[in-house]
Amino acid sequence: MPMPADTLAVAEALAQYRIAHPGPQPLADPGQIDLSSHAPGQAPTMVLDNPNHVARRTKVAIVGFTPSRLQAPYLDPSWEIWGMNGLFAYPDVLRATRWMDLHRADIIKPERYAWYENCPLPVYLHDVHPQVPNSVRFPRAEIKAQLGDYWTNSPSWMVGLAMYLGFKTIHVYGVDMAQDDEYRHQRPNLEYIIGLARGMGIEVWVPGSSDLLKATHEYGYGDDGGLRAKLLERQQDFETRKQTFRNEIQARRNKMAALKEEIINLRIGLATMDGAQQNVTWMLQSYAVGDHTSMQPSHPAVPSIDASSGTTLGLPAGGAELPALGTLPESEPATPAPENETAPATALQLVGDDGGAPGGDT
């Protein structure tokens, strides 16, 4: 998904601020940041804002992977921003204050460890990890003692941590749990934890575009709060996109049919040429002089001399016209052969058209 223009401008502002103000410092108003020296389109650098270096905050935004992550309050320094797992690879996640990876150490991907190793933020793992200098043990036992034993996903644990640490306002961005079996069965737990937090007086908010805390209708009243219309619109969108795929499939089938017909015609042409070539090969073997296995001319293009008679065969080097067979040039009159001798035959006079002696019977 391309980054919206306004979000890209914010990203560039934050990248320029990061270059000018290295280290974990509170963010400035992006309107006061000079972008004149910032290369357009440069990938933004996430501002890593360690919470231990600033005054304590009471508001936290938990950020996941779905598009509503773009709505998180990255530019408001009064908010903590918590990321998770491989979210650091997303260039539109502009700031973070803490990081969570609540998977077993043996299944965390190496590229994540490489980033965590250099991360100046608190990185919450199952236990302190020697490869991650800023790793923090996630307080699982303490959270369970306070809030119970029902935990099925990372965002729930993160909301639980925010409750345990005493945050007064919690926003959840980029977390829908709307698709595939794993996330669908995890969603009720997150909704339960959100309800638990609200019951404790904590303000918890999710974007209207999120599927969290949504139902198809209000039981007994039939009011769907707009969700049914949203779902029907989504269904229609899926059907439209499916039809596009169907049309592409049919177009390719039509191309395949045309290609098959072209291949058949080419094979017919190939068979015709093969038959014609076989006819020529038969004629070469039956009638032509020379090497029957070669398709090259039987005689060279340069002149040759019959050693027994001195008669020139083929074209002379200058391209002049050959004299008639058995004759000499006019400047040297031919000497008649004695009556009791027969003139020597030339090489071309030894073979007739039918392979026998000239004028003889076959």
Q: What is the pLDDT of residues 189-232, one digit of tens each?
A: 999 999 999 999 999 999 887 888 887 777 787 766 666 666 77
Band of residue 342 on the pLDDT scale cut at 50, 70, 90: very low
pLDDT in tens, 41-69: 444 467 777 777 666 899 999 999 988 89
- Asked if pLDDT for residue 335 goes beyond 70, the answer is no
- Among 119-123, 321-325, 350-354, top mean pLDDT goes to 119-123
Q: State residue 49's pLDDT score.
A: 76
The answer to whether 53 touches 24, Cβ cutoff 8 Å, is yes
Average pLDDT over residues 175-189: 78
Residues of the domain holding 253:
215-267
pLDDT value, residue 45: 60
Q: How far apart are CA 88 and CA 99, in angstroms?
A: 9
Higher pLDDT, 59 or 36: 59
Provide the pLDDT for residue 221: 78
Q: Are residues 168 and 229 in the same domain?
A: no
Among candidate residues 214, 237, 254, the one where a domain is terminated: 214
- 226 phi-psi bin (left φ>0, alpha ψ -120 to 50, beta other): left
Regarding whether 238 and 118 lie in a shared domain, the answer is: no
Structural domain count of the chain: 2
Start-end of H helices in the chain: 5-20, 110-117, 140-147, 154-165, 180-199, 227-286
Using the predicted structure, report yes or no on whether residue 340 has a pLDDT greater than 80: no
Same domain, 222 and 193: no
Whether residues 246 and 262 fall in one domain: yes
Of residues 235 and 187, more confidence is placed in: 187
63 and 189 in a common domain: yes
Q: What is the pLDDT of residue 319?
A: 44
State the Cα–Cα distance between residues 84 and 159, nearest whole angstrom.
12
* pLDDT tier, 233 (very low <50, low <70, confident <90, very high otherwise): low
Residues 226 and 146 in one domain: no
Q: What is the mean pLDDT of residues 247-261?
A: 93
Residues 173, 154, single domain; the answer is yes
Domain check: are 141 and 229 in the same one?
no
pLDDT at 2 over 70: no
What pLDDT score does 42 carry?
44
Distance in angstroms (rounded) separating the CA atoms of residues 220 and 206: 25
Q: Would the pLDDT of 24 be above 50?
A: no
Half-sphere exposure of 82 (CA within 13 A, CB side): 24
Domain end marker among 267, 287, 303? 267
Average pLDDT over residues 230-243: 78
Residue 121 lies in a domain: yes
For residues 126 and 69, give the distance between their C-alpha atoms in angstroms, rounded to a whole number.
Answer: 25
Could you report the per-residue pLDDT of 111-136, keeping only the tens digit for each?
A: 999 999 999 999 999 999 999 999 99
